[in-house]
């Protein structure tokens, strides 16, 4: 009997592993590298602001200014970095950018002035932008034309890594000792270095673009792709809702207990880890990816209306309505991101994939850069009316996607193999 139970458990575990993990090979190597990277990033995101103020002695204003300067410079470096990945090979550029991120993390431990801090934040932002642009062609190369599904695997495990890294940093924050903050920053540097080392388990990726090809900046002239980027930028405005806007809305406008705020991001993380891959299976090509992106935007728009109504319902129902809105928002985000993956990869020419994905990443970064101020003003300063306006903006972007996708597919009908899917 015990043998039968053991066999059943092994079969079940194997089935779970086949669903959660990519197939053995380079894709699984990239999966583990993404986990390592995400754990380090989770530690950094939770602890860095406090480290900059408490350990480096910078004011909150200078920290915000330095991070903004670095982010803006990093934002515009995505397309050039992607072009380098096309010209010199994505793995090479990715490894260099990861080592650059490790180096800038070490520089944070030596930052003794504001300008050293600005130099470190700028270097970190540029390296992060470059690694994001170079990572896309690697995913395409190792996924054997199923990049959206592998990207969903990586997003799922990255969310788990962020959670683990953030939890570890939370323990350190409880001690409030400077040496531990320092170790968290160095731990993030080590995660980048380890991720770079793991990349040598992936075959060398050849350059796809020659110097004489004459296609240096085609992405910036591709109006069909730029439409997709613009739509994705608008949908990216939703990112500060869960960590910033909704908690403040709950605390200032509802009777919901404050401890409920602490459950929202973990709930989102769990849903992404559990459901991201299931959503990816619904994507079989560009048309299905476009439909999923539209559905995601519509669902997110509905979740914002529901968030706006939380103060209007009876106190005993507010927690239920709030958590329902968070769940609906997570589902919309999963649908949108999965569809966006397919479009960003599938509509980009193979020889300029890095450059196009750099542009797509830059567009999303631009949306996130303006999102905190814009969404905070709409939803917190204008209240219910602002929530409705924000929901309408997201809905408008989502409903414009089918036109943009169909035009892009029509323009590429002779070169894209999956236009009918």
3-state helix, strand, coil in the chain (%, to 5): 85, 0, 15
Residue 297: predicted pLDDT: 97
| CATH topology identical between 23-202 and 218-411 | yes
Q: Work out the average pLDDT over 30-34.
A: 91
Q: Where are the domains of the chain?
A: 23-202, 218-411
CA distance 246 to 304: 9
Largest CA distance in the chain: 69
Task: Give tens-digit pLDDT for 196-243.
Answer: 999 988 888 887 776 655 556 788 888 999 999 999 999 999 988 988
Homologous superfamily of 218-411: MFS general substrate transporter like domains (1.20.1250.20)
**Any residues with CB less than 8 A from the CB of 201 and at least 6 apart, and which?**
26, 29
Q: 23-202 maps to which CATH number? A: 1.20.1250.20
Alpha-carbon dihedral sign for residues 213, 219, 220, 224: positive
Per the confidence metrics, is the pTM higher than 0.85? no
Task: Give tens-digit pLDDT for 55-102.
Answer: 888 887 888 888 888 888 888 888 888 888 888 888 999 999 999 999
How many angstroms from the chain centroid is the CA of residue 350?
22
Task: Give tens-digit pLDDT for 286-343.
Answer: 899 999 999 999 999 999 999 999 999 998 899 999 999 999 999 999 999 999 988 9
Residue 186: predicted pLDDT: 93
């Amino acid at each position: 009997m015990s043998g039968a139970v053991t066999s059943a458990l092994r079969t079940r575990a194997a089935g779970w592993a086949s669903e959660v993990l990519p197939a053995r090979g380079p894709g699984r190597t990239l999966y583990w590298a993404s986990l390592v990277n995400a754990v380090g990033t989770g530690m950094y995101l939770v602890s860095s602001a406090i480290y900059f103020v408490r350990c480096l002695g910078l004011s909150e204003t200078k920290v915000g200014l330095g991070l903004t300067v670095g982010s803006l410079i990093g934002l515009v470096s995505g397309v050039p970095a992607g072009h380098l990945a096309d010209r010199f090979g994505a793995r090479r550029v990715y490894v260099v950018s990861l080592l650059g991120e490790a180096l800038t993390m070490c520089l944070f431990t030596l930052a003794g002035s504001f300008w050293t801090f600005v130099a470190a934040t700028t270097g970190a932002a540029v390296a992060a932008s470059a690694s994001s642009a170079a990572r896309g062609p690697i995913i395409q190369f190792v996924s054997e034309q199923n990049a959206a599904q592998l990207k969903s695997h990586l997003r799922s495990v990255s969310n788990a890594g962020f959670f683990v890294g953030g939890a570890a940093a939370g323990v350190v924050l409880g001690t409030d000792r400077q040496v531990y903050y320092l170790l968290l920053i160095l731990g993030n540097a080590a995660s980048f270095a380890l991720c770079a080392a793991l990349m040598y388990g992936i075959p060398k990726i050849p350059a796809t673009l020659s110097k004489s090809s004459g296609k240096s900046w085609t992405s910036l002239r591709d109006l069909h792709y730029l439409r997709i980027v613009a739509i994705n930028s608008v949908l990216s405005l939703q990112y500060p809702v869960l960590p910033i806007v909704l908690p403040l809305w709950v605390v200032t406008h509802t009777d919901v207990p404050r401890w409920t705020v602490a459950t929202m991001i973990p709930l989102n993380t769990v849903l992404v880890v559990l459901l991201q891959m299931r959503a990816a299976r619904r994507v079989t090509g560009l048309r299905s990816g476009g439909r999923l992106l539209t559905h995601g935007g519509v669902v997110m728009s509905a979740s914002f209306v529901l968030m706006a109504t939380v103060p209007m319902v009876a106190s005993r129902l507010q927690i239920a309505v709030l958590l329902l809105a968070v769940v609906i928002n997570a589902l919309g985000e999963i649908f949108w991101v999965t569809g966006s993956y397919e479009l960003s990869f599938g509509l980009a020419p193979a020889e300029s994939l890095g450059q196009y994905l750099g542009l797509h990443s830059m567009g999303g970064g631009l949306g996130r850069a303006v999102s905190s101020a814009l969404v905070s003003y709409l939803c917190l300063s204008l209240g219910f009316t602002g929530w409705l306006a924000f929901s309408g903006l997201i809905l408008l972007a989502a409903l414009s996607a089918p036109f943009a996708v169909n035009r892009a597919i029509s323009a590429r009908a002779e070169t894209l193999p999956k236009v009918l899917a």
